[in-house]
Chains A and B, each alone.
Chain A
C-alpha cells in the first residue's frame, strides 16, 4: 500500500509540475494575475508530493519491504538502519527520486524567500524549475520507477554495494545533489531574466545567494567524496581524475566562475551576457554529470547498471535544456548592452582573467573526460586518459588563476593604476617568497622546485587574503559577512593547495611484502611491524584483520588494523585501510594478499599534510556560506525599489 502511495504521489507531482511549468509563464505572457499567482502554491504542493514519495521509499527500505524491487535488490535486514536509508539513493532509481525531491525543495525555498522578487520574475523562475522537474519526473516514471513491485517478494534482500556502506557516503550523494540541483536556481533566474528581457543588476543580486549556497553544497560534496575515496576505496588516493569525479568538478569550476562573474554583473552591470552563459553552462554541466554517471557510458565506481534507454533519455533531455536555453540566449544576447565601462587595469578585467582561466580548465578537463568516449565512438581504438594529462594541463592554468586570486582582491573597479597595485602587493609577494623558499629548507626532507611553486602560490593567496581583510577598515566583527566569506574561501584554497603540494611531492608510497613478527618496514622516522592476522566478524560482514604496530624513532606510536572484508555472496571484497591521522601527516596501511609462509603484501603510505586538502575544502564551503548570508541580500527589496525609481527618473 505505502509504495503505491509513493508512486501515486510521484505521478501527481508530474501533473503539478506541468501546471507549475506552464501556467505561471503563460500568465505572465497573457497578463493573467490568477495564473501568475499559481507559481507559489504549485511549488509548495510539488515539494509536499515529492516529500511524500521520498518518505514512502525510505519507509520501504527501513521496514524491509522486499516486495519493492528496489529495496529487495539494494537492502537487507542485516544492514544497520543508517545504511538502509542511504541505500535509498545508492542506486539509479532512488538517486533520481532524490534529485527530483531536492529540486522541489529548492523551488519551495525560492518561493518562500522571494519577498524581494517581483511576482512576474518569480513566476518565470518557478516555471523554469517546473520544466526541469517535468524532465526528471518523466524520466523516472517512464524508465525508472523506484516503486516497482515484485510479484514474489524474496524473504531477504540483496545487499548494498559494500563500498557505499559508510557514513561519509551516506551524506555524500545528497550533498552533491544539493549542489548540482542548486545550480538550477541560478539557471532559472538567468532564463527568467532573459525571458523578461530585463537583465539588469537585479537578477544577479537575487541569483547570488542561491548560487553561493549551491556552490557550498557542491564544494562540501566534492570534499566529502575525496575524503571517502581516500579512506574507503582503500588505496589512499584523494583524487583519481576518474570521469565521474571530473563530472562533479566541472560544474564546480564553472560555478566558481559564475559566483565571481555575478559580482561584476551586480555591482558594475558588466559581463551581462557572459554571466547568463555561465549560469546556463553550470547547470548544463550538472546535467551532463548526471548523464555521465547514470547512463553507464563510463566505467567507474559510481556507475550503476547500464541501460541504454536511460542514457538516451538523459542525453535528449540535456539536448533540449542546452538547445532551448542557448537559442533563447542567441535571441536575447545582442540586446544585452553592458553599461559599465572599465579600463584595462581594473577589477573587472581581473575577474575576467579569473573566469577565462576557470573556463579553460573546465574545457580541458571536459575534453580529457570525453576524449576516450569520442575516440571509441569513432572506432579509433580504446584509450584511457591518465592523471598525467590532467595534471600537466591544470597545473599551469591553475598557476595563472592562483596568481590572479591575490591581485584581484586589491584591484579597484573601473580603473586602477599599476603603480598603486605594485606598491600594495610588494609586501605579500615578498612574504610569500620567503615562506616558499625557507619552509622547504627548514622542515621538508628535500628541496623541490615544484613544492616551492605550490607553497609560493598558497602563501601568496593566504597573505593577500589576510592583508585585504585587515585593510577593509572597521573592526573584524563589524565587517560584512561577504568580506569574511571571501577571505575564508581564499584561505581555504591556500590550505588545499598546500595540502595538495606537500602530499603530491613528499608522499612515500610502497607496496611491500611483510612476514609476521619479522623485521618491519621503515619509512622516515616510522617503522611498521606486521604482528599477526586474525579473523573478525562485523555486523554484516566477515573480515581478516591484520595487526600492524607502528614505531616512531623506536618508540611505540600506535597500532593499526587494516582489514579485508567480505560482505557475503555477490559482493566484492573490501579493503579497509588502517589510518593514523594527524594534522601534519597520515600513516596509512592497507592489507594486500597472502603470499604464503606468514607473508602478506601491504601498501604503506606516509602522507604529509594530506588532511589539509579537505580542511581547505571545509573552509571554502564555510566561506561561501557566510557570503550567502550577507545582510546585503536581505536588503535587496530596498535596492530593487531604488533601481526602479532610478529607471523611472531616467
Chain B
C-alpha cells in the first residue's frame, strides 16, 4: 500500500472514531448529567420536573420521619435561610446521614416533593462536600440561576 493511501486510512479511521465518539457523547450527555440545585432554586421553580437532578443542603433538625411498615423515610432539606424542600426515599440512608448535617440527594422533583433514588451524606467525620458548602455560603445570589440558563 502506498504511503498516501495508508495515511488516508489513518485519517479515515481517526474521523470515524471522532465522529462516533462525539455522537455517543452527545447522546450520553442528554439526561445523564445531574445538575446540583439548592432548595431556594426548587422553591423558585427553576428546577425542571421529571428530570434527574441533585438536591443539596442541610437535613433540618427534627425533620426525619420513618414509616412504621415500609422502608420509606421523609426528611426536609434546608439552606438555613428558610428555604425548605421535603425529600422522600425508599432507599437505605447512608451511615453518616444525620439531622443537622449536609446531604446530597439524587432524584426527581414531583409536585414540590423530591423523590430520591439515592441519598449521600458527607463522607468523612470532618468533611462537608464543597458543593454544599457553596450552597450554604451563598447569601442571596441564586447559585442556580446560571445553571438554569445553561440548560
Contact = CB atoms under 8 A, between A and B. Distances in A.
Interface of A: 299, 301, 341-344, 349, 352-353, 356-357, 359-360, 363-364, 367, 371, 379-386, 388-390, 392-393, 396-397, 511-513, 564, 570-575, 590, 592-593, 595-597, 601-603
A385 B147 CA distance: 15
A384 B28 contact: no
Nearest to A299: B129
A511 B92 contact: yes
B43 interface: no
B95 A572 contact: yes
Interface of B: 1, 6, 9-10, 13-14, 17-18, 20-21, 24-25, 27-29, 31-36, 52, 54, 66, 68-71, 90-93, 95-96, 106, 123-126, 129-131, 134, 143-144, 146-147, 150
B150 A593 contact: no
10 contacts: A343-B1, A356-B17, A380-B147, A382-B147, A383-B33, A385-B33, A564-B95, A573-B96, A592-B92, A601-B92
B9 A513 contact: no
A380 B96 contact: no
A641 B25 CA distance: 49
Nearest to A590: B92
A190 B17 CA distance: 26
A389 B147 contact: no
Contact of A389 (B14, B29, B70, B130): B29
A384 B54 contact: yes
Shortest 5 CB-CB contacts between residues of A and residues of B: A381-B147, A592-B92, A389-B32, A382-B36, A573-B95
Of A344, A382, A384, most B-chain CB atoms within 10 Å: A382
A336 to B, nearest CB: 13
A601 B71 contact: yes
A356 B14 contact: yes
Given A511-B90, A571-B125, A595-B66, A392 B36 contact: no
Contacts of B18: 360
Contacts of B24: 364, 392-393, 396-397
A485 B95 CA distance: 44
Contacts of A356: 13-14, 17
Contacts of A602: 92
B25 A367 contact: yes
Contacts of A344: 1, 9
A381 B150 CA distance: 8
B71 A384 contact: no
Given A299-B129, A301-B123, A381-B144, A572 B33 contact: no
A382 B131 contact: yes
A512 B71 CA distance: 6
B93 A593 contact: yes
Q: For the complex, would chain B's binding face be called helix, strand, loop or mixed by DSSP majority?
A: mixed
A381 B146 contact: yes
Contact of A379 (B69, B125, B144, B146): B146
Given A299-B129, A511-B91, A513-B71, A349 B146 contact: no
Nearest to B69: A513
A18 B34 CA distance: 47
Given A572-B124, A573-B96, A595-B66, A386 B1 contact: no
B75 to A, nearest CB: 13
Nearest to A387: B32
Contacts of A343: 1
Given A381-B144, A513-B71, A597-B68, A360 B20 contact: yes
A383 B56 CA distance: 12
Nearest to B29: A389
Of B14, B28, B36, B143, most A-chain CB atoms within 10 Å: B28
A388 B28 contact: yes
A363 B93 CA distance: 35
Contacts of A388: 28, 31-32
Nearest to B27: A392
Contacts of A596: 66, 68
Contacts of B129: 299
B108 to A, nearest CB: 14
A137 B147 CA distance: 42
A388 B91 CA distance: 19
Contacts of A299: 123, 129-131
A513 B125 CA distance: 27
A251 B75 CA distance: 42
A478 B135 CA distance: 66
A342 B10 CA distance: 12
B95 A575 contact: yes
B92 A352 contact: no
Contacts of B32: 385-386, 388-389, 392
A256 B134 CA distance: 40
Contact of B28 (A381, A392, A590): A392
Of B69, B92, B130, most A-chain CB atoms within 10 Å: B92
Contacts of B123: 299, 301, 572
Nearest to B145: A381
B33 A384 contact: yes
Contacts of B29: 389
B56 to A, nearest CB: 8
B92 A393 contact: no
Given A380-B147, A512-B71, A570-B126, 11 more contacts: A342-B1, A352-B10, A353-B13, A356-B13, A360-B20, A380-B146, A381-B147, A382-B36, A382-B134, A397-B24, A572-B123
Contacts of A572: 95-96, 123-125
Contacts of B9: 344, 349
A353 B20 CA distance: 13
A343 B144 CA distance: 55
A382 B20 CA distance: 27
A353 B12 CA distance: 11
Contacts of A341: 1, 6
Given A341-B1, A572-B123, A595-B66, A352 B13 contact: yes
Contacts of A393: 21, 24-25, 28
